[in-house]
A = this chain, B = another copy of it.
Amino acid sequence: MFNAELKSETLKGLVYIVSTLVDEVKVTVHPDSIGIKAIDPAHVAMIDISVDKEAFVSYEADETELGLDLDKIKSVLKLAGPGDTIKMVHDPEQGRLTMTIGNIVRRMALVDTGSLNDPKVPQVELPMSAKLSIDQLQKGIRAAESISDADHVKIKIAPAGFELSCSGDTDLASLMVPADELEALEADDEAQSLYPIDYFSNIIKAISSSSVNVLLDTDLPVKLLFDLADGHAHVTYLLAPRIESE
């Protein structure tokens, strides 16, 4: 059984994050929470989301799995105004999910979860971290995108602060947030790595929370941690580094 209601904004925030990596996703439903894990086809980035039942307006569920087509969910979200509540009911017999907004009902076939991957999220220890506003990061990534001959961004965390930069043959764009403007900073030393600009841009632009915690170590994946749904949904995003061949 899965029978739940949630604010359209909550669903939207989750769906736009996950759809940066995949078109279809397996949702694992528990009595007190749901879990969403996904890895992109090229195995460069991975997402791990846990949504507490408190993120929902109402929630009744047994252990089950739902295979969702994210484009269909997005088309339902486009019918919702701000503040609208979306009701979801799973029909396991028919393999269907029914979503209701006001007088609109949208019944959709679920995707076979056997065909959907269920990535193991690696445990990586990343000692450096900086927490900053998503507005700053979104401006930084747009600046980086103006460097037309660059494929990677460099992220650096140091006692002086957080830096996102992008270098081409002749040009450079950077966002430098000094330590005293960060919401939090853990940096005994400094660390930096290169990450693919397209993945990093897609995830940063999809984040609807107000701030993000960036965890890092040299030549290791970057981990983005942020909450959605007023702190009742927890997102971990991992992106593989490019190893600098120098």
A residues adjacent to B (C-beta < 8 A): 72, 75-76, 78-79, 102-109, 136, 139-140, 142-143, 146, 170-178, 181
Q: Which residues of B contact A106 (CB under 8 A)?
A: 143, 146, 171-174
Q: Which residues of B contact A146 (CB under 8 A)?
A: 72, 75-76, 106
Q: Which residues of B contact A104 (CB under 8 A)?
A: 139-140, 143, 173-175
Which of A103, A105, A143, A181 gathers the greatest number of chain B CB atoms within 10 Å?
A: A103
A195 to B116, CA, bound (A): 37
Residue pairs across A and B with Cβ atoms less than 8 A apart, 6 shown, are A79-B142, A102-B139, A103-B139, A103-B181, A107-B172, A109-B170
Which of A78, A171, A173 gathers the greatest number of chain B CB atoms within 10 Å?
A: A173
Chain B residue nearest to A145 (CB atoms) is: B75
A171 to B75, CA, bound (A): 13
Q: Is the interface of A mostly helix, strand, loop or mixed?
A: mixed
Q: A79-B142, A109-B170 are in contact. Are A103 and B176 (CB under 8 A)?
A: yes
A107 to B107, CA, bound (A): 52
A172 to B103, CA, bound (A): 14
Count of this chain's copies in the oligomeric assembly: 3
Q: Which of B79, B142, B177, B181 contacts A143 (CB 8 A)?
A: B79
Q: A72-B146, A103-B181, A106-B146 are in contact. Are A79 and B172 (CB under 8 A)?
A: no
A146 to B79, CA, bound (A): 10
Chain B residue nearest to A78 (CB atoms) is: B142
A105 to B106, CA, bound (A): 47
Q: Which of B102, B105, B176 contacts A105 (CB 8 A)?
A: B176
A170 to B102, CA, bound (A): 22
A60 to B198, CA, bound (A): 39
A72 to B171, CA, bound (A): 10
- State how many angstroms separate the Cβ of A216 from the closest Cβ of chain B: 18
Chain B residue nearest to A96 (CB atoms) is: B170
- Nearest first, the 4 A-B pairs at minimum CB distance are A109-B170, A75-B146, A107-B172, A108-B171
Q: Once the chains bind, are A136 and B103 in contact (CB under 8 Å)?
A: yes
Q: Which residues of B contact A171 (CB under 8 A)?
A: 72, 106-109
Q: Which residues of B contact A109 (CB under 8 A)?
A: 170-171
Q: Which residues of B contact A108 (CB under 8 A)?
A: 170-171
Q: Once the chains bind, are A139 and B79 in contact (CB under 8 Å)?
A: yes
A109 to B149, CA, bound (A): 13
